[in-house]
Amino acid sequence: MAQSALTETTDLAADARVAAAKGLPLVVLYSRDDCSWCDKVRREHLGPLSRDPAAQAVVRELHMDRATPLLDFAGRRTTSADFSKQMRAQFAPTVMFHGPDGAALAESIVGFRLADFYAAYLERAIEEARARLQTRK
């Protein structure tokens, strides 16, 4: 397994507040340890995005196959595995775009479809999420 270049979330409410303070969506990679496609998304797309000072999103990772203690968007205690089920993240990788309250701001990207176009799908979803955030102000 490749070393994760993403910050693993343990407090979605806090991560959402950080994103909201910057006027940005919270992008969460729902991943599994045995998922080579997750490594590819992390390494080629979300890792570089998370390190870009001009990034248009705050990026975190949530492991669907771990029982990592987690605070959800409402500050309730749960685990990463249970929260993934609650969010209906069934397949890895799934990338979701959340607002300050946890609401979806763009359609999730499930799987690693059409690798040549993945960056475009990601960019379009982030733009849509940012636009939705702006209309909520």
62 DSSP β-pair partners: 30
Query: Is the domain 12-131 a CATH 3.40.50.300 member?
Result: no
Q: Where are the domains of the chain?
A: 12-131
pLDDT tens-digit series, residues 78-125 = 999 999 999 999 999 999 999 999 999 999 999 987 778 999 999 999
pLDDT tens-digit series, residues 18-52 = 999 999 999 999 999 999 999 999 999 999 999 98
Label each residue of 27-93 as H, E or C. EEEEECCCCHHHHHHHHHHHHHHHHCCCCCCEEEEEECCCCCEEECCCCCEEEHHHHHHHCCCCCCC
- In this prediction the pTM is 0.92
Q: What is the pLDDT of residue 115?
A: 76
